[in-house]
A and B are shown apart, each in its own frame.
Chain A
Amino acid sequence: MLTSQIVVYSQHGEPADVLSTHSYEIDDSHIGDNEIIVKTLAAPVNPSDINQIQGVYPSKPEKTTNFGTVEASAPCGNEGLFEIIKVGSKVTDFSIGDWAIPAQVNFGTWRTHALANDSEFLKIPNPSQSKANGKSTGLTINQGATISVNPPTALLMLTHYVKLIPGKDWFIQNGGNSAVGKYAIQISKLLGFNSLSVIRDRPNLQELKDELTSLGATKVITEEENGSKEFGPTIKGWTKETGGEIKLALNCVGGKNSTGVARKLANNGLMLTYGGMSFQPVILPTSLHIFKNITSAGFWVTQLLKQNPELKVETLNQIVEWYEDEKLIDAPSLQTKFDPNGDKPLHELYQEAVINSKQGKQLITF
């Protein structure tokens, strides 16, 4: 018997109030032919995890008594990195020691172990497999544990809807300093697209501009410049130089900022709104919308990849390859290690991580 600990909630509410740790037994000597047992290596806190617990996120896990709880409870966490520790007799896709990530959201990643069907996981190479494959390096724990949401969001927004011409075309984004924003900067560089990133003005502006430029940003402008008519010709000059157009805008901020990025779009351009479920309204000036035939759509990686599992595999493979080739830098996480024999139960560790999320992405390692 193997004892697994899992963070669950039976009622929606603030994570500080409603989370608990539940222990249950996994019978590791009698697993089904197509089942696997995994142990968790790391699982982060994402804004959508918090929103699910609060009950304000449109997609959420079913409440269940499968974990042996008295009240039906839902597991927390959507992203995570796992290692296979046992495989059923008919499992061919996984071997012991392989790394894997959940194939779908709502798996419940804030836990120590899981018994699952092999189809519930996707394999990604562990470091020794990468090296055996001739790669100079393998994925880090952080890269593996945060590969499912932000990097695919950036890659798919840049490639799935609009065909940008490498060397010529541009995309514009607000939230240039966000995790997705930084992936988008790097990935656009890898794909040869020009990027125009909008960031908030701040005391250490030049420092941040330099950081984004070193990641591969073509141009970085402030929100004030984004909203300024006088600055328009400067941007037109940049696009003219490359002989391309700004065909895509990525919006995760809303408000005036969304108007500013939409205004930069060329005729027939597309604005994709992504990210949190709660931000300022999207504001489009009407005449611009009509005369430039601009489309505004939502981008929700979960929904897109649910409908298109092959695209998910393809996208993840590309991200893995860039990580292995050291072409992509992952957004750092603040890491805390869980001690199964310590005094602090797992849910308290996650409750603290939720509070600390404001300082940066939190990752619990196991």
Chain B
Amino acid sequence: MTKSDNIIEANAVTFTERGFDFANVLHSTKYSIDPTKLKSDELIVKALTTSINPSDLGIIGAAYGAPPKLFHDLQTSEPVHIPGNETLLRVEYVGSDIKDYKVGDWVIPKNVGFGSWRSHAVVSTAEDKTPLIVLSNDEDDSFTLEQGATIMINPCTAYQILGQFIHDWKDDGNDWVIQNAGNSQVAKYLTQFTTLKNIKSISVIRDGKSDEEIKELYDLGATKVITESEFLKPEFIKETLPSWIGSKGNVRLAINSVGGPTTAQLVSSLSQDGYFVTFGMIGGQPISYNGGEQLQKNITTKAYWLTANTKRDPESKVKTVVDLLKLYKDGKLKDVPFEKNIVKVGVDDIKSVFLQGIVKSKTNGKQIIVYE
């Protein structure tokens, strides 16, 4: 043991029944962890931050098919589910056989379904020797808490979407990406990655966004920003787009996370052999486009899902995070702003803080819980 062996009083948000009535479905659960009973192949981590992501809510509400795993170690009468995936953790204790981690490491879970809405966890290395990815440590000040808090999902999603379908991006300034939901968190990261690779980008945004919000996208490197109503006009395909991309322009990737009328126009925007990729939608409006255009231009329609990629190949996640870390540490990638919600462990009711975060996430963008 490397620290005074006090019993840890921990808190978690839990549920046993699934549903979208979060106030009733979710519970606060208190449990304790005794570091003196830590097995040699286990470690104890403390949460520094936890995110509330739309996919977490989908899992609680059973909009996703697979039920999340059950936790038996929370001293509850029945095993419980813990929501959440994205979290930044600090290693507090390591068992005697642990070689890959040390106290003070900042880590994130490698796999999906960690159950991140909790203040502390005991992590076993019995099945997977490296269940956590090390990002940083207490001494390393080249990497911030804010970057660590949000690295797991949105930047990974944007990074992988850009790399998974097209492997031969050209950096001559003629390759283009077009995306709807152009001011979403993922889109903001994607815009930065395209800029780094000298790929041009078009971000379609909802009407009525402020000049500030539009300026933010240009500051991140967006080549063009266009409102949905301008984008949906026939002139966009006939005149605007050709004038933007020029005769050598090649619109290779269209990214959809909205559905509905913009999907057909995204397909129309693509050049020969382009990819139309959808991600991040639960329900919503279907994808609909002209099949003749698909034949003619040999367009392939694909889905992207980070969770599925990570389940199929956990190392792909590790590789992505390593690449992202380098970009962050080289100062090439800006984290996208989010709102913090403080929970004082042992003082505040953890469920109330998360419920407030859920409500605010509908209007104020991404919500992060910070543990104190």
User: Chain A interface (Cβ within 8 Å of chain B)?
Assistant: 58, 251, 254, 258-259, 273-274, 276-287, 289-291, 293-300, 303
Q: Looking at the complex, which one of B284, B291, B303 makes contact with A281 (CB distance below 8 Å)?
A: B291
Kindly state the separation between the CA atoms of A297 and B301 in the bound complex, as whole angstroms: 6
A140 to chain B, nearest CB (A): 30
Given A273-B294, A273-B295, A276-B292, A290 contacting B305 (CB threshold 8 A):
yes
* Interchain CB contact under 8 A, A300 and B300: no
| B-chain residues with CB within 8 Å of residue A273 when the two chains form the complex | 291, 294-295
Kindly state the separation between the CA atoms of A277 and B288 in the bound complex, as whole angstroms: 16
B246 interface residue (CB < 8 Å to A): no
Kindly state the separation between the CA atoms of A172 and B291 in the bound complex, as whole angstroms: 18
User: Chain B interface (Cβ within 8 Å of chain A)?
Assistant: 63-65, 259, 264, 278-292, 294-305, 308
| A-chain residues with CB within 8 Å of residue B287 when the two chains form the complex | 282-286, 289
Of all chain B residues, the one with the shortest Cβ separation from A297 is B300
* Interchain CB contact under 8 A, A285 and B301: no
Given A273-B294, A282-B291, A299-B295, A287 contacting B305 (CB threshold 8 A):
no
| B-chain residues with CB within 8 Å of residue A58 when the two chains form the complex | 296
Contacts across chains A and B counted by CB atoms under 8 Å: 93
Given A281-B264, A281-B289, A286-B281, A297 contacting B294 (CB threshold 8 A):
yes
* Interchain CB contact under 8 A, A300 and B305: no
| A-chain residues with CB within 8 Å of residue B294 when the two chains form the complex | 273, 282, 296-298
* Interchain CB contact under 8 A, A298 and B305: no
| A-chain residues with CB within 8 Å of residue B296 when the two chains form the complex | 58, 277, 298, 300
Of all chain B residues, the one with the shortest Cβ separation from A296 is B301
The 29 listed contacts between A and B (C-beta, < 8 Å) are A58-B296, A273-B295, A276-B292, A277-B296, A281-B264, A281-B291, A282-B289, A283-B288, A284-B301, A285-B287, A286-B278, A286-B287, A289-B287, A290-B278, A290-B280, A290-B281, A290-B304, A291-B305, A293-B303, A293-B305, A296-B300, A297-B299, A298-B291, A298-B295, A298-B298, A300-B295, A300-B296, A300-B298, A303-B298
Kindly state the separation between the CA atoms of A274 and B288 in the bound complex, as whole angstroms: 16
Q: Looking at the complex, which one of B279, B285, B291, B299 makes contact with A290 (CB distance below 8 Å)?
A: B279
Question: In the complex, given contacts A259-B286, A286-B259, A303-B298, what are 11 additional A-B residue pairs having Cβ atoms less than 8 angstroms apart?
Answer: A58-B296, A273-B291, A281-B288, A284-B286, A284-B288, A285-B286, A287-B281, A289-B303, A296-B300, A298-B297, A300-B296
| B-chain residues with CB within 8 Å of residue A284 when the two chains form the complex | 286-288, 301
A131 to chain B, nearest CB (A): 39
* Interchain CB contact under 8 A, A281 and B305: no
Kindly state the separation between the CA atoms of A294 and B303 in the bound complex, as whole angstroms: 7
Kindly state the separation between the CA atoms of A166 and B278 in the bound complex, as whole angstroms: 32
| A-chain residues with CB within 8 Å of residue B291 when the two chains form the complex | 251, 254, 258, 273, 279-282, 298
* Interchain CB contact under 8 A, B305 and A279: no
| B-chain residues with CB within 8 Å of residue A277 when the two chains form the complex | 292, 295-296
B219 to chain A, nearest CB (A): 31
Given A290-B279, A291-B65, A296-B301, A281 contacting B290 (CB threshold 8 A):
yes
